[in-house]
A and B are shown apart, each in its own frame.
Chain A
Amino acid sequence: MSDSIIEIKNINVSYGSNHVLKNINLNITNKDFYTFLGPSGCGKTTLLRLIAGFEKSQSGEVFIGGQEVSDLNPWERDVGMVFQNYALWPHMTVYKNISFGLEEKKIDSKEIKIKVAEVLELVDLKGLSQRYPYQLSGGQQQRVALARTLVVKPKVLLLDEPLSNLDAKLRVQMRKELLELHHKLDITTIFVTHDQEEANAMSTNLAIFNEGVVQQMGRPVDLYNNPTNAFVANFLGTTNVIEGVFQNSVFTSKNGMVIKDIGKDAKGTSVLLRPQNLYLENKSNSLEEFEGTVENQEFLGNIVRYVVNIKNHSLVLDTMHEVDKKIYQPKEKITIFLDSKKIKFL
């Protein structure tokens, strides 16, 4: 069933010899909270601006609500975009900023008043309508930017790193509020960020970008559990990647580290071990055991993160910290365990 509100087909964008987006294909389902995640310069913002109509592609098509929009101007697309720097017009009050889009749609002023009041209530800014942007805090400016976009009820809401200009505490709070708004309004949202924690916490689906290519897309938990390449594995949290060969359910690394019982269908060039899937205790007596040396130890409060050297592989291991638990020091011998049934491979 095609419930897609946005379809992106074979999009290519280049600036001169710089190929920014390479053959992008994406479907975004109605009412989805879809995130473009990737490091800076990966092309995620370019794709967002392409959907908004600020960039042109050399080839490919963009459908919004079933309509091909490549030849439409930004003002004909019915998408709402919130910019990273909010882009509030400094010469207009909060009220004027928000009513702008409604005025452009030639809606009568009585109705505008009602709609602006509603949206101000929605973003919790009642009473600030006569302020100028410079009289607002960063968080308040952010809400005005949102309100200004939401008030025209666009088909899609595009958010370009909207939380990156806020301090850490406010960011977490705005994250929650954004999600609440998304649920309340049932509006399809595309969210661009470089912060994997933000992406995991908020999105129903995400696409991970690197060097102009979509590396993988899907639900956050699926991508975390089953990354299809090392970039995705590392971008979504820390992963130990060990290269080697698989043969008869046995994995042998380049340096001679051997993992048995890895399963018959295991194949590829490397294994992925999440730090929390390496243990200091043999809980079920069915785990494989490895001897190593502590290279480094970081006490992070709730967990202790070790870097353990096993056959010249530096493996990161996270263990929950409890009050009486021994903390190993660098150069100490250490025994670690892993469950070969839970190992992912590439």
Chain B
Amino acid sequence: MFKNLFLKSTAIFIGLFLFIFLAVPIVQVFYASFLDQNGHFTFLNFYDFFQSALFVESLYNSFYVASMSVVLASFFAIPLAYFTARFNFKGSVLIQSLGFIPLIMPPFVGAVAMKLLFGTNGSINLMLDQWFDFKIPFMEGLNGVIFVESIHYFPFILINLISSLNNIDRTMEESAQTLGSKGFRLFRRIVLPLSMPGYIAGASLVFLKVFDDLGTPLLLDVNNMLAPQAYLRISSIGINDPMGYVIGVILVLTSIAAVWVAKLALGGKDYSMLQKGGGGMVKRNFLPHQKLLAYLVVFLILFLVLSPHIALALLSFGTIWSFSILPDAFTFSHYKAVFENSVFIKNTMLYCSIAALIDIVLAFFISYIVLRTKFVGRQLLDYIAMSALAIPGLVLGIGYLRTFYSVNLPWNDKPLASWWFMIVIILAVRRLPYALRACNAVLMQISKYLEESAESLGAKKTTIFRKILIPLMSGGLLAGFITSFSTATVELSATIMLVSTETDAPLAYAIYSYMQTAAGRGPGAGFGVIGVLIVAAGTYLSQLIIEKNYKQRGMEAKID
């Protein structure tokens, strides 16, 4: 049968693609970490790693920074989530939207700007010093990484915790009350354990993101952490140095361990299934002084959340900003520099749109194959594609170098790994899970009967794709495309390994390299602002499309 042959070969093609561009590079990293200089198997590299004071310190620092970021992010997220879920609070809308703002900018983009705002001689400390005669070392060494990361990633905890709290049915508390429970004891025994799944999911995500982040510590000049060490080893000593691979293995294993520990802590229980009402907890009113306090907390966090954005904007328009609360004067000259070097923006547009296109095509077929066919191993396809989420971008980048550097392009004899298209592919692989999630979500909502009725009227598979599925899924496909596209524009950790010449470099790389010199900060910030605008517009657009889609779907539901 033709239709099955077509789908089967597509499945095999996708499988091959994921094998070559996701599985092989990772396996290569693992393999290389066990090889000595002569290519023989050895455990010596790991032994060496733990013998080196610098590496052990880096390992410790990475754990420390990731854990402390979870702690600090929890301080931001928990009160906000609790206000929203427990109280009748007008600020809830503010909190919900506040949750998305930091996510549109990856932490490395605002890192340098944050130094100017919160550093030893930054605006805040200058004011503190002037008025109160003391300074707070927000940005000193590891503190800076923790501070910047937790401001950017606390929404992961916030969003998950709010959804967990909103899933708690009011009867969960009421039944405890009729049995004599009240106050903090009731909170500890019922509300707290029921909100744990959301908290743990969010916290583990924060831990992972921080542990794997490369750009932020590099830009803050913190090199004694794992990700920067891996990057520095590979970029300075070369791709034959085993230590980069050893660190890569440790990064991957930590990622997997974090996910596994989170799963273990949850015990595989789905609490939401049993709480059929799910209308959220009984909401209370704030007492007047509580309300004041709540608004104070919200505005303080709002200020923190917006500070990287404000600082970045100031930096991009400021002339000289050093030892002063605000820049000396304002100028457009940085943006002029940005547009004179618009090749970075062009590259990004080109790379990310191709990558997102690849993603959406692959995601469409993967979700169709997983949800609608009975092919052997179809689940595996889904798992492998989704597993890209757990692989640090840096490790994937190292894997690409290792795997594709020795393969030469047929037309100019240059290594495959230095070809610009490899950046496109690595972006596609990294962002495939986003597109896949969007596709799965829409396809699950489309009744199988719609296809079956078309089939019974004599339509072939290709006609069904063209006339039924793709039109119905168009909203979701577009939303997935935009999400993949916009988040790829600011992806640094994977691409940084593969940029071989400036002319091939994308926007994120430009931000990174400009930000490293004092003179380049202005234009770097300008590139950053443009990147943030692209992601913000993309996020807004995809949200809009998803909402519109829901509305249409609501109408369709009424018809049948």
Knowing A90-B271, A134-B269 are in contact, say whether A101-B172 is a contact too (CB < 8 A): no
Among the 9-residue stretches B104-112, B176-184, B351-359, the one with 4 or more Cβ atoms under 8 Å from chain A is: B176-184
B174 CB contact (under 8 Å) in A81, A100, A105: A81
A89 CB contact (under 8 Å) in B190, B196, B277: B190
Please indicate the chain A residues that have their CB under 8 angstroms from the CB of B175 in the complex: 81, 83, 87, 89, 145, 148
Q: Is B193 an interface residue (CB 8 A)?
A: yes
Please indicate the chain A residues that have their CB under 8 angstroms from the CB of B451 in the complex: none
A100 contacts B274, CB within 8 Å? no
B179 contacts A152, CB within 8 Å? yes
A87 contacts B171, CB within 8 Å? yes
A83 contacts B182, CB within 8 Å? no
Interface 0/1 of A120-140, CB less than 8 Å to B: 000000000000111000000
Interface 0/1 of A43-71, CB less than 8 Å to B: 00000000011100000000000000000
A134 contacts B270, CB within 8 Å? yes
Among the 9-residue stretches A72-80, A199-207, A218-226, A251-259, the one with 4 or more Cβ atoms under 8 Å from chain B is: A72-80
| Category for how many chain B residues contact A | 20 to 34
Instruction: Name the residue on A nearest B190 (C-beta).
Output: A89
* Interface members, chain B 252-292 (any A CB < 8 Å): 269-271, 273-277
Question: How far, in angstroms, from A52 to B277 measured CA to CA in the complex?
Answer: 19
Please indicate the chain B residues that have their CB under 8 angstroms from the CB of A149 in the complex: 178-179
A101 contacts B179, CB within 8 Å? yes
Q: Is B466 an interface residue (CB 8 A)?
A: no
A89 contacts B179, CB within 8 Å? no
- Nearest-Cβ distance from residue B262 to partner chain A, whole angstroms: 16
Please indicate the chain A residues that have their CB under 8 angstroms from the CB of B178 in the complex: 52-53, 74-75, 77, 79-81, 149, 154
Q: Is A228 an interface residue (CB 8 A)?
A: no
A148 contacts B179, CB within 8 Å? yes
Question: How far, in angstroms, from A90 to B274 measured CA to CA in the complex?
Answer: 7
Instruction: Name the residue on A nearest B178 (C-beta).
Output: A81
Knowing A91-B269, A134-B269 are in contact, say whether A100-B181 is a contact too (CB < 8 A): yes
Q: Is B241 an interface residue (CB 8 A)?
A: no
B172 contacts A89, CB within 8 Å? yes
Instruction: Name the residue on A nearest B194 (C-beta).
Output: A91
Knowing A87-B169, A87-B171, A152-B180 are in contact, say whether A100-B276 is a contact too (CB < 8 A): no
Please indicate the chain B residues that have their CB under 8 angstroms from the CB of A54 in the complex: 174, 177
Please indicate the chain A residues that have their CB under 8 angstroms from the CB of B182 in the complex: 73, 75
Interface 0/1 of A266-294, CB less than 8 Å to B: 00000000000000000000000000000
Interface centre among B172, B180, B181, B196 (most CB of A within 10 A): B180
Please indicate the chain B residues that have their CB under 8 angstroms from the CB of A148 in the complex: 175, 179
B180 contacts A87, CB within 8 Å? no
Interface residues in chain A, defined as those with a beta carbon under 8 Å from any beta carbon in chain B = 52-54, 73-75, 77, 79-81, 83, 85, 87-91, 100-101, 104-105, 132-134, 145, 148-149, 152, 154
A91 CB contact (under 8 Å) in B174, B185, B193, B277: B193
Q: Is B189 an interface residue (CB 8 A)?
A: yes
Interface centre among B177, B185, B190 (most CB of A within 10 A): B177
A75 contacts B275, CB within 8 Å? no
- Nearest-Cβ distance from residue A117 to partner chain B, whole angstroms: 18
Question: How far, in angstroms, from A307 to B179 measured CA to CA in the complex?
Answer: 52
B275 contacts A90, CB within 8 Å? yes
Please indicate the chain A residues that have their CB under 8 angstroms from the CB of B271 in the complex: 90-91
Please indicate the chain A residues that have their CB under 8 angstroms from the CB of B179 in the complex: 75, 80, 100-101, 104, 148-149, 152
- Nearest-Cβ distance from residue B161 to partner chain A, whole angstroms: 16
Sample of 17 further A-B pairs with CB below 8 A, known A81-B174, A91-B193, A154-B178: A53-B177, A53-B178, A73-B182, A74-B177, A74-B178, A75-B177, A75-B178, A75-B179, A87-B175, A89-B175, A90-B194, A90-B275, A104-B181, A134-B269, A134-B270, A149-B179, A152-B179
Please indicate the chain B residues that have their CB under 8 angstroms from the CB of A101 in the complex: 179-181
Question: How far, in angstroms, from A334 to B163 measured CA to CA in the complex?
Answer: 64
Question: How far, in angstroms, from A316 to B375 measured CA to CA in the complex?
Answer: 59
* Interface members, chain B 303-338 (any A CB < 8 Å): none
Please indicate the chain A residues that have their CB under 8 angstroms from the CB of B185 in the complex: 104
Can you list 24 residue pairs at the A/B interface with Cβ under 8 Å?
A73-B182, A75-B177, A75-B181, A79-B178, A81-B175, A81-B178, A83-B171, A85-B276, A85-B277, A87-B171, A89-B190, A90-B194, A90-B269, A90-B270, A90-B273, A90-B274, A101-B180, A101-B181, A104-B179, A104-B180, A133-B274, A134-B270, A134-B274, A152-B180
Please indicate the chain B residues that have their CB under 8 angstroms from the CB of A81 in the complex: 174-175, 178
Please indicate the chain B residues that have their CB under 8 angstroms from the CB of A88 in the complex: 274
Please indicate the chain B residues that have their CB under 8 angstroms from the CB of A154 in the complex: 178
A105 contacts B172, CB within 8 Å? no
B276 contacts A83, CB within 8 Å? no
Interface 0/1 of B137-176, CB less than 8 Å to A: 0000000000000000000000000000000010110111
How many cross-chain pairs have Cβ atoms below 8 Å apart between A and B?
A: 82
Instruction: Name the residue on B nearest A73 (C-beta).
Output: B182
Please indicate the chain B residues that have their CB under 8 angstroms from the CB of A80 in the complex: 178-179
A87 contacts B172, CB within 8 Å? yes
Question: How far, in angstroms, from A19 to B193 measured CA to CA in the complex?
Answer: 37
- Nearest-Cβ distance from residue A16 to partner chain B, whole angstroms: 14
A87 contacts B174, CB within 8 Å? yes
- Nearest-Cβ distance from residue A147 to partner chain B, whole angstroms: 12
Question: How far, in angstroms, from A83 to B171 measured CA to CA in the complex?
Answer: 7
Please indicate the chain A residues that have their CB under 8 angstroms from the CB of B194 in the complex: 89-91
Please indicate the chain A residues that have their CB under 8 angstroms from the CB of B180 in the complex: 75, 101, 104-105, 152
Question: How far, in angstroms, from A90 to B169 measured CA to CA in the complex?
Answer: 11
Please indicate the chain A residues that have their CB under 8 angstroms from the CB of B277 in the complex: 85
Question: How far, in angstroms, from A132 to B179 measured CA to CA in the complex?
Answer: 20
A85 contacts B169, CB within 8 Å? yes
* Interface members, chain B 534-553 (any A CB < 8 Å): none
- Nearest-Cβ distance from residue A188 to partner chain B, whole angstroms: 15
- Nearest-Cβ distance from residue A295 to partner chain B, whole angstroms: 33
Instruction: Name the residue on A nearest B183 (C-beta).
Output: A75
B176 CB contact (under 8 Å) in A85, A90, A100, A145: A100
Question: How far, in angstroms, from A73 to B186 measured CA to CA in the complex?
Answer: 14
Please indicate the chain B residues that have their CB under 8 angstroms from the CB of A100 in the complex: 176, 179, 181, 189
Instruction: Name the residue on A nearest B276 (C-beta).
Output: A85
Instruction: Name the residue on B nearest A84 (C-beta).
Output: B171
Question: How far, in angstroms, from A240 to B190 measured CA to CA in the complex?
Answer: 52
- Nearest-Cβ distance from residue A334 to partner chain B, whole angstroms: 42
- Nearest-Cβ distance from residue B263 to partner chain A, whole angstroms: 16
Instruction: Name the residue on A nearest B270 (C-beta).
Output: A134
Instruction: Name the residue on A nearest B181 (C-beta).
Output: A104
B269 contacts A132, CB within 8 Å? yes
Question: How far, in angstroms, from A145 to B270 measured CA to CA in the complex?
Answer: 19
- Nearest-Cβ distance from residue A59 to partner chain B, whole angstroms: 21
* Interface members, chain B 1-32 (any A CB < 8 Å): none
Question: How far, in angstroms, from A204 to B274 measured CA to CA in the complex?
Answer: 33
* Interface members, chain B 180-206 (any A CB < 8 Å): 180-182, 185, 189-190, 193-194, 196
Instruction: Name the residue on B nearest A92 (C-beta).
Output: B193
Please indicate the chain A residues that have their CB under 8 angstroms from the CB of B189 in the complex: 100
- Nearest-Cβ distance from residue A340 to partner chain B, whole angstroms: 51
Please indicate the chain B residues that have their CB under 8 angstroms from the CB of A83 in the complex: 171, 174-175
Question: How far, in angstroms, from A251 to B147 measured CA to CA in the complex?
Answer: 88
Instruction: Name the residue on A nearest B192 (C-beta).
Output: A91
Q: Please name the 8 residue pairs, one residue from A and one from B, whose CB atoms are nearest each other, closest first.
A: A101-B179, A87-B171, A74-B177, A104-B180, A87-B175, A90-B271, A90-B274, A83-B171
Question: How far, in angstroms, from A13 to B219 measured CA to CA in the complex?
Answer: 62
